[in-house]
Structure 1
Amino acid sequence: MIKETFIKERHTKEEVLSADFVIVGGGLSGTCAAITAARAGISVILIQDRPVLGGNASSEVRLWVLGATSHMGNNNRWAREGGVIDEILVENTFRNPEGNTVLLDTIILEKVVSEPNIRLLLNTSVYEVSKHDGDRIREVKGFCSQNSTTYIVRSSWFCDASGDGILAFLSGAAFRMGAEAEAEFGEKFAPTKDYGELLGHTIYFYSKDTGRPVKFVPPSYALSDITEIPRYKSFKADDSGCKLWWIEYGGRLDTVHQTEVIKWELWKVVYGVWNYIKNSGSFPEAGNLTLEWVGNIPGKRESRRFEGEYILRQQDIIEQRTFDDAVAFGGWSIDLHPADGIFSEKPGCNQWHSKGIYQIPFRCYYSKNIPNLFFAGRIISASHVAFGSTRVMGTGAHGGQAVGMAAALAVKHNWSQSDLTSTQNIRLLQQTLLKTGHHIPGLRFSDSDNLVNHAKISASSELILRELPFDGPWIDLVFSSGQMLPAAPGKLPSVTFMVNAKEATTLDVELRVSSNPGNHTPDTLIEKRTINLLEGEQPLLLDFSYEVDQHRCVFLCLMKNANVSVKSSSQLVPGILTVFNKVNRAVSNYGKQSPPEDIGVEEFEFWCPNRRPQGQNFGLTMERALELFSANNVNNGIFRPTISPNAWVAAKHDQHPKLTIEWSSIQTISEIIIAFDTDYDHPMESSLMGHPEAVMPYCVNHYNICDDQGRVVHEVKDNHQTINKISFKTPLSTAKLVIRAYHPSENVQASIFEVVIS
């Protein structure tokens, strides 16, 4: 029993903690920063002011995670972010293909608590910062309401991933809030005052069919006149979750200090909308529906943005500018919303895409004022226009990983911020990130300590692609369709498709490439022909005289003709896709991007794959085989398809595929990293949508590794992850390693992107 007499003053319990790296904010950006740093060997304290991790992706808000893949609705192929965020999304798809955010909560939490180097403080709000040695942060104070404890947390390095930037704000770091005028950075898409300078917040809701009639009596604060919402007729009875992203409000207010005001207005709207659906008589299908869940906190889009050594801007995204200190990438559209949100007469969003993914420099991820402060997430150093793209969670998490690795290197080498930014050390940061599966467009992994560099690499077989069998369904050309093929320098081989014409007709065919060889936007017409077709099935030979100038993708385009269908193939091959000039309204893709004049955005067409269970390639035969799947690809430094497959792929007839890595002398091996194909083109939205497969069809599920004596030193029978890292407690001594990779299925051959051995 505890019994205390009256005293004039009491204080909460205090606990003093310290770590190499302290992160404030447990959304995906902060979480991925924490995991990355902890795995790199430093101690981390992760402070989160909510009871769960994941931020806007968590069960508290329930927004799906997206980034450069953009719902597969743009021309960014194989653009899902790599590293820890990829690991989380792949695991979530495996355990939770239905998209239950409660299960996502458990996956993210498991990843964090499984790292012994991380101390997690949930329900802890930072409210005070102390500095020393000028403007260096010394410690932060946070209060946990659940255990009535004040934490004093000290470190030499800090990261603000809090969304509103509470740590950076209290430290005095320079920030911006609102939109820059066009004149400041020359951004032609800079919004007008009429459009507004801030994006608002959103609260979602879910409904459930109970199987019997359910009444609804709205609370007194519900919006009584739904016609106040200009787009009220757009509501549907079965809409739920983040499909209602456009229930947005607050862009005319202070999105930090007036969040509670905004929340109440959003509750007013949500319950008014539900009252309209249930009681207006316009939705008889809603009779058995009940309101299952309404968010208690809003999902925030925009508040403060903090200034780094460089401020990313519109031109960097649209022109895909490159940076020597690139550590991450983006690819979501420049996605700005009217400040009046749901009460605006304007469309709910204004999305403009670039032709490909773009680099983000390291200078955007640290404060120009506070020498030991990093940024991650939506508060990084970007203009309001550029923020319209960088703000999404996949991009934010990817940048968080770069920050986590930078902090780990700084701690290990006792570097200052200026040390980190030296050319040599940026190179080390980039290479250390790439080794984890983190992708930086335009860069290759290259490590002199990688034993594969000094080995002979061979395989039991290599795919020599002469055909994709004509064994799939017929695909009608109701949209213009293109077979995207990787090509090497030299004469483009002729390709034969099988088509079926309902009647005698003509078919326009085009050979296209991308004006930027690193992109997958077929914006450059090389040659166009019109071919006469007879009624019925017949081969279609395409023999263009094009000389491929460098490794790039070519597009063999069969233009729209509803009287013609093309025979598809069941075979899936890394780096090869069929794309369609069709519509994806979710990302403002209407087949062609046609921006207004003089907003600094390019006009081009969208050619995107279908999602599985569709998504078949066209069946085809080639005059000359594609020989781009050699065993040596496992040491080319690229862990995914880009403009080339970048993978060793075994031949279909090889029933026991083997990759052999052999040295002239005995090697001592402590670690092996293998990168498998989990289909980087699939967005893996974390909630609501659902996915047809728990394991990506390209992924090698079963493999083993043998030494030079034929002994199995490691075996996995249920792999679904991209990066497999094998560590040996007792180093392995061998002159040879043999990786036996079993075919994932009859229609997908075994493949490996990269092998790193140390």
Structure 2
Amino acid sequence: MLQENFSQIARKNKTVITQSDLVVVGGGLAGVCAAIAAARDGIMVTLVQDRPVLGGNASSEVRLWTLGATSHMGNNNRWAREGGIIDEILVENLYRNKEGNALIFDTVLLEKVTNEKNITLLLNTSVYEVEKSAPTTISKVHAFCSQNSTTYILEAKLFCDASGDGIVGFQAGAAFRMGAETKEEFGELFAPDQSYGELLGHTIYFYSKDSGAPVKYVAPEFALKDITEIPRYKSLSDKDFGCRLWWLEYGGRKDTIHESEDIKWELWKVVYGVWDYIKNSGEFPDAENLTLEWVGTIPGKRESRRFEGQYMIKQQDIIEQNEFEDAVSFGGWAVDLHPSDGVYDSRPGCTQYHSKGVYHIPLSTMVSKNIDNLFLAGRIISATHVAFGSTRVMATCAHMGQAVGFAAAQAIKQNSAPLQLLEKENLKQLQQTLSINGQSIPGIAIDENLNLIAEANVTASSTLALNTIDFDGEWTSLEVAVAQLLPLKANIKYSFKFFAKAKQATQITVQLRTASKSKNYTPDTILETKEIELHEGEQFIVIDFEASTSENQYAFVTFLSNENVSLQSSNSRYTGILSVFNGQNKAVNNTGKQTPPEDVGIDAFEFWIPFRRPKGQNIAMEISPALTDFATDNLTNGFVRPYGAANAWMAALNDKNPSLKIAWEVEKEVSELKLFLDPDYDHPMESTLMGHPEDVVPFCVRNYTIKNLDGTILFEKKNNYQAINSFTFDANFKTKGFLIELEQAHTTVPVSVFELFCH
């Protein structure tokens, strides 16, 4: 029994003082990835989250799908899903939860964090006060957990603010902005005027389900009474729920921090009014059996404070794809701004304009301009309002977060300040750490001098020479223009043979296209055009191009639309090879072509996008000369995804049990071996609601064995589904090489490996 007598002095909460190397405030995807990265790199981390679950807007409390540079596969950013820890998380979620249950995603995140022995996780714990030991140095933060009535005093050398609203940066006195810059300040022609507004609002989602019997609904008194107050109310459907209703937005004219509760109440008014309309207006007879299963209790917040860093990324950096020496991450979501009146605005719910490819995000946007030991992560990084329209999405935020985590670990080990990481040698070290952990910073390869495999003789049981994509698939109609995306060698003239079917005698236009920037996938340069006559019925057609690419890069063998013609497709799929269509994806403002106003500083171009599996088959063809982009040299070229080239070794399609032999002339002391496999970086892997056709992508090697050269089994892997497979060796382990024996998972997909890394 516990009994305390009356105290004349007010009692204090239980207080716990912790010390760590890094305190990460905010348990959204940015904070989660920052904490995991830092912990895996060997430093002690405290992760503070003011909610009962991790994930922020991706959690079951809000239920927004996680997206980034891939968009919804609706832009021209091929193989652009963010790599490293966030990829590991999304691939894990795909394997366990391809249906997109937000509750399962919660558990994936919690498991990833709690599995790290170097992380102390504090849930339901809100940071409310910052202490400084000097004007530009944070010494500790104070937090309170309402669930255990405990006050925490969290001391650390470094701090990462991933809190969304920037509570640490704000209280520490760091410079910040809130709202939109003028066109004149940074020369951003897309900067909105006052009528459009300066802030993006909040959204609350709801879920419905079929109960199998009629369900009545009586709306609460506070629900919106007149649905016509929502100009887009005719867009509502009883088939839509969750984050498909992202446009139920409000609050952009308010203080999105201090008036957030008021915004929430207005959104509840909207949501319950919308459901009342769906259930009781008579416009939706199919809704009779539907019941309201879930409504968010906290809103998904888009925008509040943005903090000033050593550099502020702007519109031109995104659209022009400017390169930075201190690049540590990349983005690719559209510049996506919303009218501040949100659901009550008669204009479209968003204005999205894409760049022609992915863009660099520099570390200098994540290092505070004023506070010496503060990193910025997530949506609060140093960006203008316009650039923020792209950098704010969750997978991009997570990718930046893991960069910050590895940066913090390096700073602790070097006993340096975050600003010193921008020095050339420190920066190079950080970029290599990130690359070795799968970050895939555009243009930055793993240094072969760090990779013992680069010193070895690497041979394979077979190597793919792609001269035929089998003629065994369905017919693909040219009602929509289609192109086959292929990695071609410079200055080689290629010939292609296709099998076509015409409803009547007609003519088709075939073009060889490339991207004006060789690492992009926007086919804005036409090298050659052919007009091909077809007779009625089935026939082979041969296309001999005289033009060729000036460097090794992807090219598009492009068939313009003709509704009377179909091409045979193939059941075979290959790493780094895709068919794309000049199609539409209304979810990301894609109507086949981007046509912005002339005066907003944004390019006009066509979209050529893949279909999701099981659609999106390759076009069947014969290729002469054969494509030879799949040699073992790719295993040490430093790139772990397609980037201007396939960058993968691929076995022959008929090699069911291929093998790789790595042999050194003398014994090497080895501590770790990494295999970088193909998790299909072109697939967005939305974390919730969307659902996916498979739990393991078809390109990923599932089973393999690693042996010493004498045949001794060192490691055996079964049922793999992750991209990066890492194996560590006991101290002083020495070997003259490895034999890696792999199994083909699908008869229509050859075995592929991007990179082998050993140190």
Same structural fold, with TM-score higher than 0.5 when normalized by the shorter chain? yes
1:743 is matched with 744
Matches within 5 A, 1:716-755: 716-755=717-756
Q: Rate the CA distance shift 1:731–1:216 in 2: closer, same or farther, 3 A.
A: farther
1:189 is matched with 190
Aligned length: 758
1:667 is displaced (CA, Å) by 1.5
User: Is the CA contact 2:514–2:554 (under 8 Å) kept in the aligned structure 1?
Assistant: yes
User: Is the CA contact 1:485–1:555 (under 8 Å) kept in the aligned structure 2?
Assistant: yes
- Deviations along 1:645-697, whole A, 9 cap, x unmatched? 10010012223201111000112222111100010000000011100000000
2:489 is matched with 488
2:2 is matched with 2
2:175 is matched with 174
User: Is the CA contact 2:448–2:638 (under 8 Å) kept in the aligned structure 1?
Assistant: no
Matches within 5 A, 1:230-269: 230-269=231-270
CA distance, structure 1, for counterparts of residue 470 and residue 290 of structure 2 = 48
1:450 is displaced (CA, Å) by 1.8
Residue range with higher mean Cα deviation, 90-99 or 510-519:
510-519
2:693 is matched with 692
Matches within 5 A, 1:482-631: 482-631=483-632
User: Is the CA contact 1:431–1:447 (under 8 Å) kept in the aligned structure 2?
Assistant: no
1:492 is displaced (CA, Å) by 2.8
1:157 is matched with 158
1:322 is matched with 323
For 2:555, the aligned partner's letter is V
CA distance, structure 2, for counterparts of residue 605 and residue 93 of structure 1 = 31
1:255 is displaced (CA, Å) by 0.1
Matches within 5 A, 1:42-61: 42-61=43-62
1:99 is matched with 100
CA distance, structure 2, for counterparts of residue 379 and residue 541 of structure 1 = 54
1:136 is matched with 137
1:111 is displaced (CA, Å) by 0.2
User: Is the CA contact 2:367–2:419 (under 8 Å) kept in the aligned structure 1?
Assistant: no
1:571 is displaced (CA, Å) by 0.8
User: Is the CA contact 1:501–1:564 (under 8 Å) kept in the aligned structure 2?
Assistant: yes
CA distance, structure 2, for counterparts of residue 419 and residue 238 of structure 1 = 53
User: Is the CA contact 1:514–1:521 (under 8 Å) kept in the aligned structure 2?
Assistant: yes
2:204 is matched with 203
User: Is the CA contact 1:226–1:276 (under 8 Å) kept in the aligned structure 2?
Assistant: yes
- Deviations along 1:476-508, whole A, 9 cap, x unmatched? 111010011101112231111111001111111
SS in 1 for 2:271: helix
2:358 is matched with 357
SS in 2 for 1:618: coil
1:467 is matched with 468
CA distance, structure 1, for counterparts of residue 457 and residue 512 of structure 2 = 38
CA distance, structure 1, for counterparts of residue 723 and residue 127 of structure 2 = 36
SS in 2 for 1:519: coil
1:541 is displaced (CA, Å) by 1.3
- Deviations along 1:184-204, whole A, 9 cap, x unmatched? 000000000000000000000
1:413 is displaced (CA, Å) by 1.1
CA distance, structure 1, for counterparts of residue 565 and residue 330 of structure 2 = 40
User: Is the CA contact 1:159–1:376 (under 8 Å) kept in the aligned structure 2?
Assistant: yes
1:283 is matched with 284
CA distance, structure 1, for counterparts of residue 549 and residue 220 of structure 2 = 66
1:116 is matched with 117
User: Is the CA contact 1:54–1:105 (under 8 Å) kept in the aligned structure 2?
Assistant: yes
Residue range with higher mean Cα deviation, 712-721 or 133-142:
133-142
CA distance, structure 1, for counterparts of residue 532 and residue 581 of structure 2 = 20
1:447 is displaced (CA, Å) by 4.9
- Deviations along 1:282-301, whole A, 9 cap, x unmatched? 11100000000000000000
1:529 is displaced (CA, Å) by 2.0
SS in 1 for 2:398: helix
User: Is the CA contact 2:707–2:740 (under 8 Å) kept in the aligned structure 1?
Assistant: yes
- Deviations along 1:695-747, whole A, 9 cap, x unmatched? 00000000110002101100111100000011123553211101111112100
Matches within 5 A, 1:288-303: 288-303=289-304
1:659 is matched with 660
2:127 is matched with 126
1:51 is displaced (CA, Å) by 0.3
For 2:565, the aligned partner's letter is V
Residue range with higher mean Cα deviation, 381-390 or 406-415:
406-415
1:576 is displaced (CA, Å) by 0.8
CA distance, structure 1, for counterparts of residue 440 and residue 134 of structure 2 = 36
CA distance, structure 2, for counterparts of residue 492 and residue 162 of structure 1 = 54
1:337 is matched with 338
CA distance, structure 2, for counterparts of residue 240 and residue 539 of structure 1 = 47
SS in 1 for 2:694: coil
- Deviations along 1:27-75, whole A, 9 cap, x unmatched? 0000000000000010000000000000000000000000000000000
For 2:161, the aligned partner's letter is D
Give ranges in structure 1 of 5+ residues lacking alignment: none
User: Is the CA contact 1:249–1:341 (under 8 Å) kept in the aligned structure 2?
Assistant: yes
User: Is the CA contact 2:448–2:636 (under 8 Å) kept in the aligned structure 1?
Assistant: no
User: Is the CA contact 2:70–2:682 (under 8 Å) kept in the aligned structure 1?
Assistant: yes
1:615 is displaced (CA, Å) by 1.2
For 2:340, the aligned partner's letter is A
User: Is the CA contact 1:201–1:249 (under 8 Å) kept in the aligned structure 2?
Assistant: yes
CA distance, structure 1, for counterparts of residue 103 and residue 423 of structure 2 = 43
2:368 is matched with 367
Give ranges in structure 2 of 5+ residues lacking alignment: none
SS in 2 for 1:561: coil
For 2:314, the aligned partner's letter is R
Residue range with higher mean Cα deviation, 58-67 or 544-553:
544-553
1:224 is matched with 225
1:24 is matched with 25
SS in 1 for 2:387: helix
TM-score with structure 1 setting the length = 0.99
SS in 1 for 2:629: strand
For 1:284, the aligned partner's letter is P
CA distance, structure 2, for counterparts of residue 490 and residue 575 of structure 1 = 21
For 1:220, the aligned partner's letter is E
CA distance, structure 1, for counterparts of residue 448 and residue 613 of structure 2 = 36
CA distance, structure 2, for counterparts of residue 432 and residue 756 of structure 1 = 12
SS in 2 for 1:7: coil
For 1:326, the aligned partner's letter is A
User: Is the CA contact 2:326–2:362 (under 8 Å) kept in the aligned structure 1?
Assistant: yes
SS in 2 for 1:432: helix
Residue range with higher mean Cα deviation, 621-630 or 489-498:
489-498
User: Is the CA contact 1:458–1:632 (under 8 Å) kept in the aligned structure 2?
Assistant: no
Matches within 5 A, 1:639-678: 639-678=640-679
For 2:38, the aligned partner's letter is A
For 2:173, the aligned partner's letter is G
User: Is the CA contact 1:676–1:753 (under 8 Å) kept in the aligned structure 2?
Assistant: yes
